[in-house]
Amino acid sequence: MRRYQIFVSSTFLDLKKERAAVLESILQMKCFPAGMELFPSASINQFEYIKKVIDDSDYYILVIGGRYGDAPTGKLSYTEQEFDYAKSKNIPILAFLCNSPEDRPAKFFELDPIKREKLQMFRKKAQDGRLTKYWSTPDELAKEVLVGLQEAMNISPRLGWEKALPISNTEIYHELQKLQSELTITKQMLVEAESRIMAQETNFWSKHICLTGTLEQEDRNRIPYECDISIRYIFNLWYPHLLKVSLDVEARDNLNRMIEQAQNLYSFKMDDSCYTLTKTLLVEAGVIAEFVSRRSYGGTISNIVLTKKGKQTWDSLNQ
């Protein structure tokens, strides 16, 4: 029975469930899934390694959700680079696009307007010259992948893999040595990738933002106020009031009071734009969550709560 190696390309953190569904569909078809999501580095050597895996693949699956993904300064995202490379090698490409990326959870939707524009251009590129399928849930995606792969195998049959004939012990020994060497390299690349992720998180907490707001004077008029403050400092101030679910307005008032006390200010009120930025940064970092609940008398209201990762992060930052 002939089997095929299928490369799965997508952003990773926002599409974990979708990737799992795609991999399950590939395995159901007795094929071999391949993907380099464990190696998000911009290193040339690592991208060369990814290209070799794509070279060895028979089909290329592209899944696009609501994020464009990481990209080196001034360059395309890693996912789009993989797509362009597969296209240059004339590997059959199956594109699966999210029906409504704007309806995905906020943390899985591209907030950066520049990246949103790049995502739209990438979606158009992915649809150009090929049959594209669309999905809304992981289950829908899994079904579309099963159908799409079967069609691709019928229309564009590839070399694939077949059960090998018996080989000598010497050949087996050399092949095992080769595989062991590749495994060692792969493990080292994984360690390096994990180190980079930890470094990125450390850099995030040391970053500063411009805290802007107003202060009340004795004549009750308000004057502008601003200062440079780290994200870690704000999170530590806000943390005690995030341990239980709070209304968004209450959470904001609590943060204002904590900044007043810490900075020795009087009647401080943070600007709307500054509060929105602060909240967005912490939501994106996964340490707080924002959700909407319904009022008993009608209408909805926004709530803020600390996440499990938020508790773990606070413990780590304050060891």
Q: What is the pLDDT of residue 38?
A: 47
pTM of the full structure: 0.52
Write out pLDDT tens, residues 256-282: 999 999 988 888 999 999 999 999 999
Lowest mean pLDDT among 29-38, 77-86, 203-212: 29-38
Cross-strand bridge partners of residue 230: 208
In tens, the pLDDT along 118-148 reads 999 999 999 998 879 999 999 999 999 999 9
Could you tell me the residue ranges of all domains in the chain?
5-163, 171-206, 208-317
If we measure between CA atoms, which residue out of 128, 62, 125, 69 comes closest to residue 98? 62
Identify whether the C-beta of residue 249 lies closer than 8 Å to the C-beta of residue 256. Answer: no
Q: Which residue has the higher pLDDT, 292 or 59?
A: 59
Confidence of residue 198 (pLDDT cuts 50, 70, 90): low
**Is residue 5 pLDDT above 90, yes or no?**
yes
CATH architecture of 208-317: Orthogonal Bundle (1.10)
- Say which CATH class 5-163 falls into: alpha beta
Using CA atoms, how far residue 269 sits from 62, 211, 216, 235, 253, in Å, is 46, 10, 9, 17, 8
Which two tokens mark 59? 């089909």
Residue 72 confidence class, pLDDT cut points 50, 70, 90: confident
**In this predicted structure, what is the pLDDT of residue 194?**
63
Whole-angstrom distance, CA of residue 116 vs CA of residue 114: 5
Confidence of residue 300 (pLDDT cuts 50, 70, 90): confident
Is residue 225 over pLDDT 60?
A: yes
